[in-house]
Amino acid sequence: MEYLQEHWLEWFGVITGLLYLYLEIKQYPIMWIVGFVTSFVYIIVYLQAKFYAYGFLNIYYVIISVYGFWLWVRKTNPNKQQDAFAPFFQHISRRLSLVLFLLATVLSGAIYYVLLKFTDSVMPLAEAVATSLSIVATWMVAKRFLEHWFVWVIVNIISVGMFVIQGMYPTVLLFFCYVFLSSIGYFEWKKFNNQEVQ
What is the per-residue pLDDT across 154-184, written as a single tens digit (0 to 9) for each? 999 999 999 999 999 999 999 999 999 999 9
pTM above 0.85, yes or no: yes
Q: How far apart are CA 74 and CA 142, in angstroms?
A: 12
The arithmetic mean of pLDDT across residues 84-108, rounded, is 90
Q: How far apart are CA 193 and CA 45, in angstroms?
A: 36
Share of the chain above pLDDT 90, in %: 82
The arithmetic mean of pLDDT across residues 31-57, rounded, is 96
User: Nearest-5° angle of CA 21, CA 128, CA 9?
Assistant: 45
**pLDDT value at 1 more than 70:** no
| CA dihedral for 198, 187, 57, 11, sign (positive or negative) | positive
Which residues have a Cβ under 8 Å from the Cβ of 177 and sit 6 or more positions away?
A: 18, 21
Residue among 103, 80, 82 at smallest CA distance from 92: 103
Residue among 87, 70, 78, 76 at smallest CA distance from 32: 70
